[in-house]
Structure formats: C-alpha cells, structure tokens
Amino acid sequence: MNLPSVYLASGSPRRYEILRNLGYQVVRVPAQIDETSYPTENANEYVQRMAQMKNEAAIDTWLQNHPQQPEFPLISADTTVSLNNLILSKPTSTDDAAHMLKLLSGQQHQVLTAVCVYWQHQTYHALQTSTVSFAPLTPQQIAAYIATGEPLDKAGAYGIQGFGGVFIEHISGSFTGIMGLPVYETSQLLSQCGYTPFPIP
C-alpha cells in the first residue's frame, strides 16, 4: 500500500515519529528562523508566530529548489512552555536548564504547541494547550537529569517522553501536544487538505 506523504518543516525526531505512526511518509524541508521572542509577546502569540514563520521559511526553501508548489501538505509546528506568563524556550546552557527546572519544580505550567499546514496556497492553523503538574525536584535530581543531556534541546528543559516523564505527576491536555505535535489537531488540519491517516469513514 502506498502511504500518503507530507512535508515536515522540523528536524524534531519526535514530530517525525508521530507522523510516521499516523501512517505518513515524511519528507523533511529545512526551515531556519530567528526564534527570539518579542519583549511584549505572550506565549500564545509567540508559539503561533514561530509555527507560521517556520512554515513560511520552509515554503521559501522549497520554491528556491523547485519550479512548482509543494505536491503534499507542508506541516510546521512550535512548542513552548509557559510558567506564570514566562516563556521557557530551549535552554541555552546547562545552567539555564537548571534554572528552568528549578522554576518548574512543584508547579503547574502550560505547554503550548501551534501547528500550521500549508496546502495549495492556503495555510491552516491550530493551537493546543496542556497543563502539566511537576513534582518537587531536589538539586540532585536536577543535576542528574541535566547530565543525561535530554533537557538541552527541549522547550522548558524537559521531555515528557523520556527521562523527564518521571517528574510529571499529572497532565491535562494532549500527550502528543506536549511531545511537540498534537495528533488530534494535526489530523483535523490534514483532513481539511483531503488527507486522512487511516481509512475511517
């Protein structure tokens, strides 16, 4: 059986895996952008702007190398962590990761993932927000977790699908959204493009 294909404007192995698990062939398209937040920007605005900018950058890359529009839907996404309106992006160092984990320790925070799908000159948008409850962390736990290397390329300095999952007491929302690509919202956007991941009438 020939699987439907999509383009993915992300280097994330987690987003790639999620789409593959939904039954898609996935072709990556580079999307390099400046991910600096604006001083007055809240987390909702920031994450949606990032997803849109990634989508536009990937389309530009595609059109520079091909004479025609993308032949499959092009998906971009961005995930950020928000604690009391403070945006926690990917840490810039181990010290920054330790600082973020200390802030999250024993607190509830929000994980926001924005998704954009470009198809036939139209862009479709979705935003998914989850609430995550973190257990209190000791300095030893934080140091040991950082030593794994996992926090350094994750928004908020943790990954729910990896070692970081042991610190999470409760979530309200979407597990795949916290991972980086909410399955329900992404599938809804793709269905608007005429793409369905499996034959459910």
Adjacent-strand bridge partners of 168: 134
Could you tell me the two tokens for 40? Answer: 């007055």
Taking Cα atoms as reference points, which of 188, 193, 163, 167 lies closest to residue 177? 188
Distance of CA 65 to the CA centre of its chain: 26
Structure tokens at 68: 């025609």
Between CA 3 and CA 180, with CA 63 as vertex, the angle to 5 degrees is 55
Active site residues: 78
Dist. CA 38–CA 100, nearest whole Å: 19
Residue ranges of E strands in the chain? 5-8, 25-28, 74-83, 86-88, 108-119, 122-134, 168-172
d(CA 163, CA 173) in angstroms, rounded, equals: 20
